[in-house]
Each structure stands twice: as structure tokens, then as C-alpha cells.
Amino acid sequence: MDKIFLSDLEIDTVIGIWEWERRITQRVSIDLEMATDARRASTGDSVNETLNYRDVAKRLIAFVGESEFELVESLAEAVARIIVVDFGVSWTKVSVAKPAAIEGSRTVGVVIERTTEDYPS
């Protein structure tokens, strides 16, 4: 399986369970791995033959920036659904990190993997 990846996509959003967190934006960092078959794209050397990671990033920046989840788990699930359903990806691995959420820790977060079987039409 070939994979397209996107690392450390930083987006400011409302996220958290505490009342003070609901009044501010905080930065989250998203890492993605997305299944693809790179052979057609590499043979034709055309962006039209591949998953356009710029389109993925733009979609996530808009979605996450407007979202107001309490949990990083919920945000990760929503991101995975967009990747699989909206972009037709058969498998994705999504990591969502919330830097500085815990004093003494650089970051905390969640990693999930989803497939088309997780989102039946």
C-alpha cells in the first residue's frame, strides 16, 4: 500500500472541556497517513491522478478552524470521516495532538485508524 502523509498541520480551534477553554482558541496539530495507489500518478506525473494533499489540508483547515469539539477523540473521528468519505480514501491514520495541554508534557493526543468499513453509506 502506498501512503500520502501530511505532518504537523497546525490549526487554531476551540477545543476542551473546561469553561475557560470554550472561550479561547487553542492550537492542535494533525498528522495524517492516507492510503493511495501512487502508480497512476507517478506514471502520468499529474496531480489529477492522485489524492491532492493541498485540497485535504484546505478542507481540514476550514473544518477544524470552525469546529468546537470538547475532546481530541471527537475531532480525530470527524477528521477521519472527512478523509474517508469526502476524499474516497480506503484507509487513514489520524493523529490529533493538543500541545501544552498538560503541564510538564510537550503534547497529548490520540491516534486512530479508520477504513471505508467504518463509514458505510
Look at domain 2-118 and name its CATH class. Answer: alpha beta
Active site residue 98: yes
The predicted model scores a pTM of: 0.94
Q: Are strands 91-99 and 107-115 parallel, antiparallel or unpaired?
A: antiparallel
Q: Which of 3, 58, 93, 98 is catalytic?
A: 98
**pLDDT > 90 in the chain, percent:** 81
Of 109, 29, 104, nearest in space to 72 by CA: 109
- SS3 at position 41: helix
- SS3 at position 78: helix
Q: Binning pLDDT at 50, 70 and 90, where does residue 108 land? A: very high
User: Grid coordinates representing 120?
Assistant: 458505510
Are 110 and 95 within 8 A, CB to CB?
yes
Name the burial class of residue 80, with classes exposed (0-12), middle (13-18) and buried (19+) by CB atoms within 10 angstroms of its CB: buried
Task: Tell whether the model's pLDDT for residue 16 goes beyond 90.
Answer: yes
24-82 per-position pLDDT tens digit: 999 999 999 999 988 888 888 888 778 999 999 999 999 999 999 999 999 999 999 99
